[in-house]
Chains A and B, each alone.
Chain A
Amino acid sequence: MELKSFLSSPQSIRHKLMVIGLTTSGLVILLFLMASGLLAREFFSAKQAMQHELLSQAKMIAENSSAAVVFDNRSEARKILSALNSSPVIVEAVISLPDNEVFAWFVRENFQDNSRILKDKILSDSGFGNGDLTVDSDIVVDGRHVGTLRIGATMKPVYDRLLVFGFIVILLTVAGLAVSFYLLRQLQRSITGPLLDLTDMMERVSTTENYSLRASIETQDEVGLLTSRFNEMLEKIQLHDHAMEKELQERQCAEERLDYIAHYDPVTTLPNRNFFNVRLHQLSVQAREQGVRSALMFIDLDNFKIINDNLGHQVGDLVLKAVAARLRLMLRLTDVISRIGGDEFAILLAGLPASEHAGIVAEKISHSLAGPFQIGEHEIYAHASIGIAICPEDATDPMDLLRLADTAMYYAKENGRNTYRFFKPEMHGKAQQRMTMETGLRHALENGEFEVYYQPKYHLLRKEIIGAEALLRWRRPGVGMIGPLDFIPIAEETGLIVAIGEWVLNQACEQIAFLNTRTRTSIHIAVNLSGRQFKEENLVEQVHSAIIKAGIFPHQLELEITESTLVDTSPATLAKLEALREMGINISIDDFGTGYSSMSYLKKMPISTLKIDREFIKDLPGDTDDAAITSAIIAMARSLNLDIVAEGVETQQQVDFLRAHGCEVIQGYLISPPVPAKQFCEMLKIEQQQFA
């Protein structure tokens, strides 16, 4: 159907509305014009024809009646007029004389009543009413006007005909309206149909929340446009919905993960400190209220720092994991084990019948950790020191319990490691001492409480001091001088060693510069470099700037590192060593022979000196083992073309042995204990005077 194809055509609704509106209104206007035109035409032509007819009739009658008028024969006149009876439209006729006297008249029977009106009208000569037709005709005799004939006709037949015509017009109009209605309804359907479909679709989408639904596009007009925009919107919502869902999932995941991280340690998958604190709090409440006995164990791995520093964090983490696994095996399900620090674990043993049970558990733990861990190619030992505090006997406050267990643990550590200790009240003092030392250490540097001492190195053949080892002393207010063994481990643990080490380095360099001006420039001073310092990124720059600042020869500075530092043969370490060596700085291995001795590194590393550990020197020359080791080290160093220094030399016998085996430089109390800078300077001056 044509209309249907028009309505679904890609024309705009505006266009469709216009076309259909114009068509229908045009149709109606056309109908109206046609009808009214025809009606008017019909009316006028009918009227004209009638008038024409009437006029000819009137003329005939006037002609015929002229004699009657002239000869005053009224009855004859009436007779003539009555002939009009045969013409059905003529309802009346009047002959009047010039003086307006009515001479004769004719009235159709059923119009009798109106005749008077007609007569009156003729008398007043004011025309004819009621829309009916009148015609006048003069009655003339031989050119003389002798009277007037007026004929009145009804137009009823015309009106009747027009009525029929009007009825047809109405019929046509109704038909036109019907067509318009049909057209407009088709139009309305073509618009509202798709809109209703769209509405249904929207409802379906909103009820099912299925955003993958799409409305079908049936027309290319505004509704089609609306539909496609709606589809686009759905698409966007769908994408958005997906994105939201995904984001929600990710967020949930992240939250779960955060929750996990908040309560669990990612390395060991054990509960973390937060979780542990909650449980500890619960147990402390139970202990207070129900007298339930629990034990808090504090476990610290003895040599984890060395493992971590030397084998890297990855290995360290694997060790922690393995330790956690072993610990878990030792415990009941109701016990809580948690990693609460770097290499610190805590265990809560709830509901103990007696405190001794905690000792048994600690024993088991110690024993289980005594065996080596196989981590990749490494075989690693991770012994632990364990401190135990019993609740409620020792304390009920969670923080107190932790502190007490920590104290007991340190006590265990100081008592030979790989063991456990119950907390005892007398431990308090020592633990506190350590605490105060830690805080004191933090302020020592800024308060200038550190002092560098120098222990001379003596050359046996040249018989002169060739240098010294810089050794740190802490002049602690109210306590006195403290040796490095007592505070360096704490400094290392807290990281203070980095700042302290830099300070010592600068001090030593300044001292060299001072000695250069006062004594001689052949003196070199060795500074100890901790493993921690060696890990610093800017170590080479630090050393370089210290030398430049002091204005000394690089070879006058010697850096002493321990064997364990060198176990890590990573490219970064090697690069630092080489950079230092290239600068002209000497590098010596401190305490040689005590560490993980792998001789291969000696060849690889750019080192210049080996220092034999005092442990080997101590019992020389009596101890054959020590003698053998010492002589072997000396031989090796010589073959590798390394300088060698013996530490802790205290007797002439030792000197004799060393000299016999080829060690030429010694350091120890036999020559001099570590002395303040000023005194060391004096020593050099005296020596110079002797030579001089």
Chain B
Amino acid sequence: MGLSVASTVSAEVQEYEIKAAFIYNFISFTEWPEKTGANINICTLGESPLNIAFDALKKKSAKGVTIMIHRLRIEDSLKDCQVIFLGELDRMSFIKVMSSLKSMPILTVTDSAGLVEEGVMIELGIEERRIVFKINVESAKKSRLMISSKLLRLAKVVY
């Protein structure tokens, strides 16, 4: 049974659950340039209430492989990650991560406002009690990630 998405956000818990589900679904609409390994690794950086919600994604599969959740620190290598969720990071850490990522084929996702303009590929936000997202197509292209047009239709596209 897949994740169902609530139509409205009625509680905070629900908000994070939905956000986790969103992230999970982003995997489905994204193409990586080379074949992923045995797992799809979702890595988190920085603190976020979402981190708990990610637990729900453990052992789920996407693109035929199992999803693994990894909580990383800034100094950890990011190269085995397919998805990186950026939580609350200080500015320095953010810049360091972004630079280390450079053009690595890793989907970057955040729910911190304004980061999409700074190169994060997908930024989740709330609008009229609904969860919406912005996509930086430029960043994705640089990282050789193909984001489905279907997804793009739903997003506020940022170049």
Distance (whole angstroms) from the CB of A591 to the closest CB of chain B: 175
30 A–B contacts from the bound complex (CB under 8 Å): A63-B150, A66-B150, A67-B29, A67-B148, A67-B151, A67-B154, A68-B150, A68-B153, A68-B154, A70-B5, A70-B25, A70-B28, A71-B5, A71-B22, A71-B25, A72-B5, A72-B18, A72-B130, A73-B154, A76-B153, A98-B1, A99-B4, A141-B2, A141-B28, A142-B27, A142-B28, A143-B64, A144-B2, A144-B28, A145-B2
CA distance A424 to B41 in the complex (A): 188
CA distance A144 to B18 in the complex (A): 17
Distance (whole angstroms) from the CB of A286 to the closest CB of chain B: 153
Q: Which of A64, A67, A142 contacts B62 (CB 8 A)?
A: A142
Query: B18-45 vs A: 1/0 string, CB under 8 Å?
Result: 1000100101110000000000000000
Q: Which of A64, A74, A146 contacts B2 (CB 8 A)?
A: A146
Query: A134-169 vs B: 1/0 string, CB under 8 Å?
Result: 000000011111100000000000000000000000
CA distance A66 to B148 in the complex (A): 11
**Which B residues, 87 to 121, have Cβ-Cβ distances below 8 Å to chain A?**
none
**Which B residues, 51 to 82, have Cβ-Cβ distances below 8 Å to chain A?**
62-64
Query: A77-103 vs B: 1/0 string, CB under 8 Å?
Result: 000000000000000000001110000
- Interface size classification for chain A: 20 to 34
4 cross-chain pairs, A with B, having the tightest CB-CB distances, nearest first: A142-B28, A67-B150, A72-B5, A144-B2
Chain A residues with CB under 8 Å of B62's CB are 142
Distance (whole angstroms) from the CB of B109 to the closest CB of chain A: 13
Chain A residues with CB under 8 Å of B153's CB are 67-68, 76
Chain B residues with CB under 8 Å of A144's CB are 2, 28
A64 touches B150 (CB 8 A): yes
Binding site for B on A (CB under 8 A): 63-64, 66-68, 70-74, 76, 97-99, 141-146
How many chain B residues touch A (Cβ–Cβ < 8 Å)?
Answer: 23
CA distance A67 to B5 in the complex (A): 12
CA distance A141 to B27 in the complex (A): 10
A76 touches B154 (CB 8 A): yes
Query: Does B7 touch A at the CB level, under 8 Å?
Result: yes
CA distance A98 to B25 in the complex (A): 17
Known contacts A67-B153, A67-B154, A72 near B6 by CB under 8 Å: yes
Distance (whole angstroms) from the CB of A479 to the closest CB of chain B: 172
Chain A residues with CB under 8 Å of B4's CB are 97-99
Distance (whole angstroms) from the CB of B103 to the closest CB of chain A: 25
Q: A72-B5, A72-B130, A143-B64 are in contact. List 8 more A-B contacts (CB 8 A).
A: A64-B150, A66-B150, A67-B29, A67-B154, A70-B28, A98-B4, A99-B4, A142-B28
**Which B residues, 107 to 159, have Cβ-Cβ distances below 8 Å to chain A?**
130-131, 133, 148, 150-151, 153-154
Chain A residues with CB under 8 Å of B28's CB are 70, 141-142, 144
Main secondary structure of the interface of A (DSSP, over half): mixed
Distance (whole angstroms) from the CB of A481 to the closest CB of chain B: 176
Chain B residues with CB under 8 Å of A66's CB are 150
B150 touches A142 (CB 8 A): no
Chain A residues with CB under 8 Å of B64's CB are 143
Chain B residues with CB under 8 Å of A71's CB are 5, 22, 25, 133, 151, 154
CA distance A598 to B25 in the complex (A): 178
Chain B residues with CB under 8 Å of A146's CB are 2
Distance (whole angstroms) from the CB of B68 to the closest CB of chain A: 16
Chain A residues with CB under 8 Å of B7's CB are 72, 74
CA distance A98 to B150 in the complex (A): 20
Distance (whole angstroms) from the CB of B47 to the closest CB of chain A: 25
CA distance A67 to B153 in the complex (A): 9
Residue of A nearest to B152 (CB): A67
Chain A residues with CB under 8 Å of B151's CB are 67, 71
Chain A residues with CB under 8 Å of B131's CB are 72
Residue of A nearest to B153 (CB): A76
Chain B residues with CB under 8 Å of A68's CB are 150, 153-154
Chain A residues with CB under 8 Å of B133's CB are 71
Distance (whole angstroms) from the CB of B57 to the closest CB of chain A: 13
Chain B residues with CB under 8 Å of A142's CB are 27-28, 62-63
Chain B residues with CB under 8 Å of A70's CB are 5, 25, 28
Distance (whole angstroms) from the CB of A98 to the closest CB of chain B: 8
CA distance A66 to B29 in the complex (A): 10
Chain A residues with CB under 8 Å of B63's CB are 142
Distance (whole angstroms) from the CB of B130 to the closest CB of chain A: 8
Residue of A nearest to B5 (CB): A72
CA distance A552 to B5 in the complex (A): 175
CA distance A11 to B158 in the complex (A): 95
Residue of A nearest to B29 (CB): A67
Residue of B nearest to A143 (CB): B64
